[in-house]
Structure 1
């Protein structure tokens, strides 16, 4: 059985701040398989790594890169994050909102080869835009949480749409992995990249689930140890 990847969520919980180059270095030192990052765009079109839509209560989309550097010097650009991770760890890149998909794809494809990164989003429009604007194949994942599941529960053709858009995996939150609705609307051949799993018991269960291809966690050290124990 192929063992799931262990992905450090925003670099994982460590002494370093999440979504910083220091956090990514920690994930690399732990020998996590991949690191998950969140991408947003500044007012002047610089792609940065940041989860929340605001920095010091100011919207990122209304701030220039120079202003962000002044407010929070630890925020890296996507280009810097790629340079840090290139050849050392895979990149799971979440596009946080529509509007800058093409720029993200172009930046990733300039610096990395296709097997070194994946792109995920909660937005079907983002998925479509990536598919339509990619010069070559990009591995795409559709993020889902409980609300997404409720919104799409009656969409019996969702699976066919995702396949048509080139989506190769679904990324459900761990709380909905066993949902009958999820299994009904997502094709059985489409694997799961499950997030954000921090409980050891849940992690052990998912490590043994043949449909789970990756586990995103704040505790990559725990995930790596449990995976080693299971494989003994």
Structure 2
């Protein structure tokens, strides 16, 4: 009885016209509706190009990814740049924290071709540069890594400045931050993470987004497929286990991923080109 009741509650939160129910970009939802499954390139196509580089974004576009995920931090003088780690040690020829160096100082560094590997000719890009390269070509998932939360507002302002409201997902580790950030610009699509069915219920109840990040603990296909059919877009990662298996076993690893998680709509991966082969049936 409890299971039936919970499913009924979840489904009652959804109506068939999700673009009118949720406070998000209608144009972005229309783009997602063009395909049943989408590939998101993790830190750009970083196996071919330095992670979080302009070249990695361009390679993700070339490989046919629908979304490119990039990480956002701010320099000492407040310039928004792409960088996953708190420090530049792993991915550049420099040392130290991003937040303790100016943009000019960071521009003296070179991105490494691979983590802790040899230097490339590429430099750390600004968020503005990244958005301009992506504009009109690929959706952008902004993974906001900056500890200083006042830079959320600056990130939103930059998205607006570049006219990218309809192409950006703003990822949230804590869905409880949604109402406050939503007020900055309701047309920018929030993209929260749910760690449990209880989290998912709370997110959908807010009616601020229909795109939710799930992890491998979500396996109730019946409930989640019902929500997918009602217009909810579930994002899951094939990073780690399934990407590693794909390196060894090829495309069958990804087919088993889809069998286990049939409700997924967006898949983040380190192997966007291999996923494209699977989804194209080749």
CA–CA separation in structure 1 for the residues paired with 2:71 and 2:177: 14
Aligned partner of 2:119 in structure 1 is none
CA–CA separation in structure 1 for the residues paired with 2:79 and 2:207: 27
Aligned partner of 1:89 in structure 2 is 138
Q: How many aligned positions are there? A: 216
Query: How far off its partner does 1:77 sit?
Result: 0.5
Change (3 A) 1:79 1:47: same
Gaps of 5+ in 2: 1-32, 90-94, 111-121
Aligned partner of 1:62 in structure 2 is 100
Q: Which secondary structure state, in structure 2, belongs to the residue aligned with residue 109 of structure 1? A: helix
2:240 paired with 1:194:
no
Q: Which secondary structure state, in structure 1, belongs to the residue aligned with residue 57 of structure 2? A: helix
Of residues 11, 29, 38, the one that matches 2:62 is 29
2:264 paired with 1:212:
yes
Query: How far off its partner does 1:113 sit?
Result: 4.1
Q: CA RMSD in A?
A: 2.8
Q: TM-score, normalised by structure 2?
A: 0.67
Aligned partner of 2:172 in structure 1 is 121
Change (3 A) 1:171 1:210: same
C-alpha contact (below 8 Å) 1:96/1:121 kept by paired residues: no
Q: TM-score, normalised by structure 1?
A: 0.80
Q: Is 119-128 or 91-100 further displaced after alignment?
A: 119-128
C-alpha contact (below 8 Å) 1:34/1:90 kept by paired residues: yes
Can you list the C-alpha shifts for 1:154-212, whole angstroms capped at 9, x where unaligned?
A: x9466235542713222123x333279xx79xx77543111244244453244465521
2:187 paired with 1:137:
yes
2:217 paired with 1:176:
yes
Structure whose alpha-carbon radius of gyration is higher: 2
Aligned partner of 1:53 in structure 2 is 86
CA–CA separation in structure 1 for the residues paired with 2:234 and 2:277: 21
CA–CA separation in structure 2 for the residues paired with 1:75 and 1:157: 35
Q: Is 199-208 or 39-48 further displaced after alignment?
A: 199-208
